[in-house]
Structure 1
Amino acid sequence: MSTKHDLELLSVTKRYGSTVAVDAINHKFQPATYTCLLGPSGCGKSSTLRMIAGHESVTEGSILLSGRDVSALPPANRGTAMMFQNYALFPHLSVRDNVAFSLKMKGVDTKERYATANEMLELVDLTDLADRLPEQLSGGQQQRVALARALITRPEVLLLDEPLSALDPFLRIRMRGELKKLQKELGISFIHVTHGQDEALALADEIVVMNDAVIEQAGAARDVFNAPKTRFVAQFMGGHNVIALPEGHFAIRTDAVAITAPTKGTMDAQVTAVEYQGTHVSLLSRIAGDQEVTALVPEAQYFTTPHHPGDQIGLHWDATNLHQLTA
């Protein structure tokens, strides 16, 4: 049973004609946490977010927020707010009027809505730009306006649809920190859709990995990364090799694979590619059965004894670092 500020999905399904976009998923989001819905394009994550927001109808199942079924309610009556990927700012309105817009639609008088808008602008550090138009702002500033506009309704849950995708890489990393800090300050749930593993790991208290319209795995960010349950999760999260052994399929982190000269007790491999990554060097090799294994070697260690494509090497690892996959 949902309690206050819990968001729960009960057998939520979305069909578009004969296509099943979301297939009877169940999940309970913990209150006041940052959750990332993570998965490849077309896996159902954005459809799930839009159903929670009320921008897509639920074909079957229920969405509960604070113990009440909000599945049939319009977006404004749910206790959620959505921040869109393209920000959707009104070009002819000032920053302050963009932020205050939803309060204007509710009939809140000018003085009160501007006072509240100013509070939101202070929260996202845009007070000095309140009278500018959106076109006079940078991409990061526009994003913060969209964030303030979503937060002015005092939602229980803020929904973010790939909010960082339009930003350059440097600004994206900076905005990750701002979003995480804001979520902690506000103490409300953020649910953030992304296809970026790094983004999810940096932001999320919980990661929900989706694939082919279902939830493949959900859990604390560190648990999902370190203990993937399926081949898909291990490969999609990155940083892992999936190796077929007689006992089944196993995941092993790329930084847990060691390289030596071929000797008894190591697995014979041939180097196929080497990629310098700054602090580490990624060394791709091929073992028996045409399987590929990546080893992430500290930069200084690699250049002490470098290897090149075509070299024969030995791979070894501690058996305790092998993680058996269930599917």
Structure 2
Amino acid sequence: MTAKHDLELVEVTKRYGTTVAVDAIQHRFQPSSYTCLLGPSGCGKSSTLRMIAGHESVTEGAILLSGRDISSLPPANRGTAMMFQNYALFPHLSVRDNVAFSLKMKGVDQKERHAKAGEMLELVDLTALSGRLPDQLSGGQQQRVALARALITRPEVLLLDEPLSALDPFLRIRMRSELKKLQKELGISFIHVTHGQDEALALADEIVVMNNAVIEQAGPARDVFNAPRTRFVAQFMGGHNVIALQSGHFAVRTDAVAITAPNMGKLDAQVMAVEYQGTHVSLMSRIAGDQEVTALVPEAQYFTTPHHPGDQIGLNWDAKDQHKLTA
């Protein structure tokens, strides 16, 4: 039995003509959690989000929310709200009226909708700017207006389509913490589409990795990063080497690879490049078969026994850090 506020995708497919954008995906999202749909451009993540929102039709399958099939309902009747990538604020309306707009469309009187907009602006710390127009706001402030406008409908699930992509790197990091804090305070499910691995790891309770219209792997963020099941997930999540030997494919984290003298580790290699990264040094080497293996070595440890391009080295790691890949 589907619990209250559970969102479930049941064999959901989306076709555009002969092109399959989403191919019979099956997933139940954890209630009151922050989930990131992660994957490269064209993998199907945005189409999935838009189908949940009702901005794209479902070709086959069903979308269930709180036990009811919402697949054919209009967006306003689904119990979801969507925050768009470009924020889509009305330039001629004040911050308060932008936030209250959906209530105006529902016929809510001005006093009530302004009161509710005030509550939302207080939630996102924009009360003092309620009378401004969107072009008088910074990018981060515009994002918070869009967030307040989505939340005023009191959705069971908030959908976010790459909401941080338009922000500069410093503000992006700051807004990540604000989004996470807000999700915990509200206690509703956030589903956030991104192609940024760092963003997903920083925000998500659960990561759903998509590739070629299907779900490659889903689970708690730490599990997906530490124990990728496929070659694609290991490479896309970053921080892993994918090594193919006669015994099969496996992944090992770059920070789990230790440098030894030649013939003293699991593999011998030749140093190809060294890159200083502050707290660590990235040492890229080549093993037999022209495969590249990267070791992320703590700065102090590296400079105690430095290595240079052309040097012969050994590579070693603990057996527990080696993860067999299924594909």
TM-score band w.r.t. shorter chain: over 0.9
Match of 2:168 in 1: 168
Measured after TM superposition, the shift of residue 3 of structure 1 is 2.1
With normalisation by structure 1, the TM-score equals 0.99
For 1:264 and 1:323, locate their aligned partners in 2 and report how far apart those are by CA, in whole Å: 21
For 1:309 and 1:97, locate their aligned partners in 2 and report how far apart those are by CA, in whole Å: 61
Give 5+ residue unaligned stretches, structure 2. none
Secondary structure class of the residue paired with 1:164: coil
Measured after TM superposition, the shift of residue 300 of structure 1 is 1.0
Secondary structure class of the residue paired with 1:56: coil
Measured after TM superposition, the shift of residue 265 of structure 1 is 4.2
Match of 1:271 in 2: 271
For 2:87 and 2:313, locate their aligned partners in 1 and report how far apart those are by CA, in whole Å: 51
Measured after TM superposition, the shift of residue 199 of structure 1 is 0.4
Match of 1:126 in 2: 126
Secondary structure class of the residue paired with 1:50: helix
Measured after TM superposition, the shift of residue 50 of structure 1 is 0.2
Q: Please give the residue correspondences for 1:121-270 in structure 2 after superposition, counting only pairs within 5 Å.
A: 121-270=121-270
Structure 1 counterpart of 2:92, which letter?
A: H
For 1:62 and 1:315, locate their aligned partners in 2 and report how far apart those are by CA, in whole Å: 49
Measured after TM superposition, the shift of residue 245 of structure 1 is 2.2
For 1:106 and 1:294, locate their aligned partners in 2 and report how far apart those are by CA, in whole Å: 57
For 2:309 and 2:322, locate their aligned partners in 1 and report how far apart those are by CA, in whole Å: 26
Q: Please give the residue correspondences for 1:91-106 in structure 2 after superposition, counting only pairs within 5 Å.
A: 91-106=91-106
For 1:142 and 1:265, locate their aligned partners in 2 and report how far apart those are by CA, in whole Å: 53
Q: Would the alpha carbon gap of residues 266 and 4 (structure 1) be closer, same or farther in structure 2, given more than 3 Å must change?
A: closer
CA RMSD of aligned residues (A): 0.8
For 2:75 and 2:226, locate their aligned partners in 1 and report how far apart those are by CA, in whole Å: 37
For 1:318 and 1:65, locate their aligned partners in 2 and report how far apart those are by CA, in whole Å: 44
Query: 2:86 matched to 1:79?
Result: no
For 1:325 and 1:264, locate their aligned partners in 2 and report how far apart those are by CA, in whole Å: 25
C-alpha distance after superposition, 1:97-149 (max 9, x if no partner): 00000000000000000000000000000000000000000000000000000
Measured after TM superposition, the shift of residue 320 of structure 1 is 2.0
Secondary structure class of the residue paired with 1:175: helix
Aligned residues: 327
Aligned identity (percent) is: 88
C-alpha distance after superposition, 1:23-51 (max 9, x if no partner): 00000001100000000000000000000
Secondary structure class of the residue paired with 2:22: strand
For 2:175 and 2:18, locate their aligned partners in 1 and report how far apart those are by CA, in whole Å: 39
Structure 2 counterpart of 1:189, which letter?
A: S
Secondary structure class of the residue paired with 1:289: coil
With normalisation by structure 2, the TM-score equals 0.99
Measured after TM superposition, the shift of residue 244 of structure 1 is 1.2
Match of 1:10 in 2: 10
Match of 2:294 in 1: 294
Deviates more, 1:157-166 or 1:298-307: 298-307
Give 5+ residue unaligned stretches, structure 1. none
C-alpha distance after superposition, 1:225-274 (max 9, x if no partner): 01101000000000110111222111101011001221344421111111
Measured after TM superposition, the shift of residue 166 of structure 1 is 0.3
Q: Would the alpha carbon gap of residues 265 and 104 (structure 1) be closer, same or farther in structure 2, given more than 3 Å must change?
A: closer
